[in-house]
Amino acid sequence: MKRNFPIDIEFRILDQEKIEKIHRASLRILEEVGIKVTGERMRGALAEHGAVMEAGDIVKIPSALVEKALATVPEVIRLYNRDGEQVGELGPERNIYFGSIAEQLEYLDYKTNTARRFTRDEMKIMCTLQDYLPNIAFTTSVGILGGVPAQLAGQIGFIEVVRNFTKNIHVVTSDVEALKDIVKIAADLAGGPEALAEKPLFVYYAEPIPPLLHPYESNERIAVCAEHGIPFTYMPYSMMGGTGPITQAGILAQNNAEVLAGLVMSQVIRQGAPYIYGSMPTVFDMKTTIGSYGAPEFHLNIAAAAEMAEFYGIPFYGSAAISDAKTIDPQSAAELEMTLFSAMLSKAGLVHDVGLLDHCRNISPMAIYLANEIIEQLKYYVRGVDVSDETLLLDVIGEVGPGGHYLEHVSTLKNFKKYWYPKVFERNMVNPEKSDLLEKAVEAIDRILATHVPAPLAPEKEAILARHEAELLSRVF
C-alpha cells in the first residue's frame, strides 16, 4: 500500500544519543524501580517469563525481557473498517491518519459556539461529519455515552458507531467487561474470532496510571486484545510535576518505561500481538491545575515520544487539533494549527482527539471541520520541495528571460494546480468588513449533515448488532 500522502521534511527533536539515553533510563526504571502490577493472570505470565516479583505488587522487568518483546512485536499494523476492508496501514512508510471521537462529556454547538451536555443525538452528527470529511480517517467510541446505563455505555456506543461510520473504528471503554463484550460483537460481525484476528475491526486504547501503576483493570485489556489480535494502544497520560517528573527528559523516560512495560505484557500473553506506542506527557499548570491540552511542551513531548517509537519500530499514537480554550476563538484556532503542524511533522501514524476542546471536556464539530481544512493546508507544506532537473525549469527561465512573465507558459498551465486552493479559508482580493467564514462553515456543516449518508450496514450485520443490543439491554431492564 503506498504512503497516504508524501512527507519530505527533516524534523527531528531527539538525536540518536538522546534516544539511547532515554531508552537506557527506561530500562533502569523497569529494572530498579519497577512497576506495580495487580491481577493474577498478568503477574503469572510476567513471572513465568523472568520478571522479578517483589513485595507490594512490585514487578521488576529485566532488559532481556524488553529486548525479547521488541523482537516479536510487529512493525506493520493494518487498519480495517467494520466490513473487514483494509483502509490503512501503519509502518515504516509513515502513513499518517487523523481521527476524532464520537462522544464526549459536552458538545460545542457549531451554530451557537456554546457547550452543552452531550446526548445520544449528537453521536449521529459526529459520525456523519467524520464519515464525510476526507482528512478524518477514524472515529473513537469513547464509552461515556450519556442516556444509557453506565455499564453499557461502551458497548452501545460501539454499536452506534458501527451503524453510522464506514471508516476505521477506535474504541475506548471505561472497564474491561465492556471490552470483552465489544470483542464478541466484533467477532460476530467479522465472521468468527479467527476472522477478527486476521482483520481486526477496531483499534483499542487503554492507559496505565502514571506513575508506574499497571493494575488489573489496565493489564487485563492488554491481555484481551493480545489474545484476540486487536491492535492495542497503551497511552500513558502523565503531567510534569504531578504524575510524572518535572523535566521533559524525566517524563519521556517514565513514559517510555510504561509503554515498554505494556509491550512486554502484550508479548508475554501472545508473541506477535499488535501493539501501538501511545503518549500524552503534558504540562501540569501550576496556576490553574489543569493538565494542559494546548501547551507547546505537550506537543513537543508527544513528537519526541514518537521518535522513541520509531527507534523501536512500533507505530505511534499521537494527539492533535486540541485546545485548552472552550470555544472557537483565536486561542483554539491557534492551538489547532500548532498541534496539527507538530503532528504532521512528527513520526505519528495515528493522531487522535481532533476537535477536542476545553482541555478534554467538549467535542466541537466546527473544530473538526476546520481541522480538516488545516490538515489539507499542511499536506502542502510537509510534502517538501522537489529539486531536480525537471523541477528547476532552467530552460523555461531561459525562455522567459529577464523582464518576461510566466503566466502563459505551458509549464505554468500544467503545474499551477499542484498548490493548495483553500476550501474554507479565504483569499479575497477585497475582503468583507466582517468575516463570514464561520457563517459559511455553519452552512457547509448543515449541508454535510443533511446530505451525507454513511453507507448503511449490510442487513445481516445490522441483525447481529440488533441481537447484541437486545441482549445487552436485557441485562439491566
Partner 1 sequence: MDILKQISQFVVEGEPGELEELMRRALDQGSTARELLDGGLLDGMNQVGELFREGEMFVPEVLMSARTMDLGMEIIKPLLGEGDVKVAGKIVVATVKGDLHDIGKKLVCMMLEGAGYEIHDLGVDVSPEDVCRAVEEIRPDLVGMSAMLTTTMTAMKETTEALRAAGLYDSVKVMVGGAPINAGFAEEIGANYSPDATGAVELANALMAS
Q: How far is the CB of 247 from partner 1 (least distance, A)?
A: 14
Contact mark string toward partner 1, 314..353, x via CB under 8 A: ----------------------------------------
Chain centroid to CA 432 = 37
Which is closer to partner 1, CB of 240 or CB of 304? Answer: 240
Contact mark string toward partner 1, 279..318, x via CB under 8 A: -----x-xxxx-----------------------------
* 105 lies in the site for partner 1, by CB under 8 A: yes
* 448 lies in the site for partner 1, by CB under 8 A: no
- The values of phi and psi at residue 37, to 5°, are -130, 125
Residue in 175, 198, 297, 469 binding partner 1, rule: CB under 8 A = 175
Which is closer to partner 1, CB of 193 or CB of 242? Answer: 242
- Tell which positions 220-239 bind partner 1, by CB under 8 A: 239
Which is closer to partner 1, CB of 83 or CB of 297? Answer: 297
DSSP string, 195-240: HHHHS-SEEEEE--BTTTEE-HHHHHHHHHHHHHT--EEE--EEEE
Q: Which of 237, 235, 238 is nearest to 222 (CA)?
A: 235
Which is closer to partner 1, CB of 103 or CB of 188? Answer: 103
Residue with C-alpha cell 504532521? 344
Give CA angle at 33 (27, 39), nearest 5°: 100
Residue in 241, 250, 313, 454 binding partner 1, rule: CB under 8 A = 241
Which is closer to partner 1, CB of 201 or CB of 472? Answer: 472
* 151 lies in the site for partner 1, by CB under 8 A: yes
Q: How far is the CB of 207 from partner 1 (least distance, A)?
A: 10
* 153 lies in the site for partner 1, by CB under 8 A: yes
Residue in 174, 331, 411, 412 binding partner 1, rule: CB under 8 A = 174
Q: How far is the CB of 175 from partner 1 (least distance, A)?
A: 6
Contact mark string toward partner 1, 192..221, x via CB under 8 A: -----------------x---x-x-x----
Question: Distance (Å, rounded) from C-alpha 254 to C-alpha 425?
Answer: 41
In DSSP terms, 77 is beta-bridged to 90
* 150 lies in the site for partner 1, by CB under 8 A: yes
Which is closer to partner 1, CB of 65 or CB of 176? Answer: 176
Cβ neighbours, 10 Å, residue 230: 23
User: Under a CB-based contact definition with an 8 Å cutoff, are residues 321 and 374 in contact?
Assistant: yes
* 42 lies in the site for partner 1, by CB under 8 A: no
Residue with C-alpha cell 461515556? 144
In DSSP terms, 276 is beta-bridged to 233
Q: Which of 264, 238, 211 is nearest to 68 (CA)?
A: 264
User: Under a CB-based contact definition with an 8 Å cutoff, are residues 298 and 283 in contact?
Assistant: yes
E strands present in 43-171:
52-53, 58-60, 77-80, 86-90, 97-98, 106-108, 115-117, 138-141, 168-171
Residue in 84, 193, 242, 250 binding partner 1, rule: CB under 8 A = 242
Cβ neighbours, 10 Å, residue 452: 12
Residues lying near partner 1 in the complex (CB under 8 A): 105, 143-144, 150-151, 153, 174-175, 209, 213, 215, 217, 239, 241-243, 284, 286-289, 360
